[in-house]
Structure 1
């Protein structure tokens, strides 16, 4: 059958054809936008590291029965002590901040997001380097003033050139660039879910102990429940206030078991010192998936929106089926002509399916455009913090389009079947 014949048949039913296309496009646009966002929000970028990557939690919170809250962070004393217990494992002790960056020969300043961390951070979270390399643990312990730039920060400060060895002032202190990252994105940002799980990765990365030495203040939460006097940032280091995160990674189950045993010994020791008031064994090693679930990254509102989008798509497809019933009821006379000219029921069925396929492809094309516009609108509506979530990912778009096409086919089976087997379609003799 020719395309011109299909177009001619659809043109004769122009109102129904337009309504079918609009229903398919609207249903796909709503479902595609919602599912794309949900797909990114619910993804686990560390899924391949589940077996050997762990987030460390120690419960040194109030024994008050009304405060059944598990502290998600570590104090400076605990974080640094546990870092030394890792043995053969890797550890990223980290917190976030913001620094003002400036080139030595420039009057322009930039406030850039910053992460203070130990060098294993880059290997644990697979951040690849375009230029240079991370600092060593020895440089970190010796408080060496070095910095790793993100791709974006290197573009802003050095016009995307190889800046290794260059100086940059951070809060008026000189740092030497030792590395530049390639594009490094992680959504959700598994290694820091406390402030904004969908924020972009940081612009600057500096050694953890160097940050402490230079009084780089944490930008995230600083929590505590004991009555401990604090007059400045240095006092925080000697208190039980929690503000640090520790991620670990092990090459074998034996090394992980050894760290777990050392961690149990450490909590026992702290219990005997009057800490760990909820119990001596209150610690956890969580996988990335467990950490995402613990923080409820995909909340109930997102799930509800996805369910509503699915329901809306189903309603649109039901309306498509109703329109097809009405359309085929008015076309029985023309379909009789095909049968009178010798066309079989199978031919009529294929003709109707071909017409519907053309409508479905048109509707899906328009629906994909609406999906792209919907994601763009959501990014503008929620700002830069939503940019990573509202990005156009081809995988969920293809899945959404496939689901829509399958739904259209299922919605058309009954109308086409009833039309082709109707007693009014026959040859008068």
Structure 2
């Protein structure tokens, strides 16, 4: 019977086409508005590395000045000073650990037909690539020895490598970076986690991935200026050497543990470390040290802001408004078919059969509305993506959202059709037959 009722539902679309088109369009607009907004919220709030998110941790110390400090307040900056980063790298804690900061660099292509250009990269330690599951197209990460001596080696992003060398493997070639000859040891494959959870401070959280990577120690040895934010709570002497000994926070740090259960042990260690530093006259605010896993870190830095959540609620409110209008249109559509319902009841159709028939018809309306809503949602996301490169990276629909579009549309239509369908079932056959 379902197939038969489904065919009746398809045929009913041709009855009163203006009313049907208005219902489909109303439903489609409501679904498109809610789905496009929900898609962006889904991309922004999704766990970017679910297989590891409970094992990756950001430590946080508050090394600000005591003056004007309110106990319990957040630190002035969520990053870390170089003395703390260096100590944590040497600690041996966790399975892996990395310090990093953004670095700008002038790159001089080996090809004469390409002028020198400015690129933005990242200066992490070797563990970065394994910690964050960075795939490699050619070569591999630099060695621990390269980290130790600050070797002039570089890993290129795929787009940068193709821009400079085309489809050839550039591993082993020399490239002028920051005015120094660097040896290319690897090329990363396409890797663009959204959001860029590993470096949420400084730069776009939904922007393009880094164009190159050099060792953290190499960037320090070359006194490479950072690309990102910095917080200094006290005056310091000018120069890079003074920055390294200061309490300025400008480095981001991550630990990886063997299991999520090792968190307590790591927390205990950083608490002891902070206590030792206070004995040396540092961390004067005496604020508690904290650990954040990936999802907690994203929540702490408000990757999904209140504005985005409010937009989603407003979009769903608009969908509810569209459903109310759809209910009214369905009541009008079904009311003109009272005589048809009376004849069917007189011929033996039960109220349950009438209910199933009309409910399936509303499902057909929802299915058509879902197709149109999907088209409108793609158009809305395309318009949103034109606003900026960062928005273009998140304004795309995955299979989950595709499926949700149809489920939401059909469910919304069925929900809207419950009252009109129930009203249709209340038709009294005798009254309708007498009126014919």
| Superposed pair shares fold, TM > 0.5 | yes
2:208 to 188, 194, 200: 200
2:35 to 27, 32, 36: 32
Does the aligned pair in 2 maintain the 1:134–1:179 contact within 8 Å?
Answer: yes
1:63 to 59, 66, 89: 66
Does the aligned pair in 2 maintain the 1:89–1:256 contact within 8 Å?
Answer: no
Distance 1:356 1:254 in 2: 50
Task: Out of 97-106 and 78-87, give the one that drifted further.
Answer: 97-106
Per-residue CA deviation, residues 372-392 of structure 1 (Å, 9 max, x unaligned), is 1111111102x1022222122
* Aligned-residue offset at 1:110: 3.1
Distance 2:422 2:138 in 1: 64
Matched with 1:380 is: 386
For the residue of structure 2 that corresponds to 1:47, the secondary structure is coil
* 2:326 equivalent to 1:333: no
Change (3 A) 1:356 1:262: closer
For the residue of structure 1 that corresponds to 2:234, the secondary structure is coil
* 2:230 equivalent to 1:225: no
1:390 to 382, 392, 395: 395
Per-residue CA deviation, residues 138-158 of structure 1 (Å, 9 max, x unaligned), is 112212111111222222122
* 2:406 equivalent to 1:401: yes
Does the aligned pair in 1 maintain the 2:13–2:20 contact within 8 Å?
Answer: yes
* 2:221 equivalent to 1:213: yes
* Aligned-residue offset at 1:329: 1.4
Q: Count how many residue pairs are aligned between Structure 1 and Structure 2.
A: 426
Q: Describe how 1:25-174 pairs up with structure 2 within 5 A.
A: 25-66=28-69, 68-70=73-75, 71-87=77-93, 89-106=95-112, 107-174=114-181
**Normalising to structure 1: TM-score of the pair?**
0.92
Task: Out of 111-120 and 45-54, give the one that drifted further.
Answer: 45-54
Matched with 2:19 is: 16
For the residue of structure 2 that corresponds to 1:237, the secondary structure is helix
Does the aligned pair in 2 maintain the 1:31–1:400 contact within 8 Å?
Answer: no
For the residue of structure 2 that corresponds to 1:11, the secondary structure is coil
Task: Out of 259-268 and 115-124, give the one that drifted further.
Answer: 259-268
Name stretches of at least 5 consecutive residues in structure 1 with no aligned partner.
none
Distance 1:88 1:311 in 2: 46
Task: Out of 3-12 and 282-291, give the one that drifted further.
Answer: 3-12
Does the aligned pair in 2 maintain the 1:117–1:205 contact within 8 Å?
Answer: yes
Matched with 1:410 is: 415
Name stretches of at least 5 consecutive residues in structure 2 with no aligned partner.
none
Distance 1:305 1:177 in 2: 45
**Normalising to structure 2: TM-score of the pair?**
0.90
Does the aligned pair in 2 maintain the 1:85–1:262 contact within 8 Å?
Answer: no
Q: Describe how 1:189-338 pairs up with structure 2 within 5 A.
A: 189-195=196-202, 196-230=204-238, 232-251=239-258, 259-279=266-286, 282-338=288-344
Does the aligned pair in 1 maintain the 2:6–2:361 contact within 8 Å?
Answer: no
Distance 2:327 2:264 in 1: 59
* Aligned-residue offset at 1:396: 2.6
RMSD, aligned CA: 2.4
Change (3 A) 1:261 1:315: closer
Change (3 A) 1:5 1:83: closer
* Aligned-residue offset at 1:394: 2.0
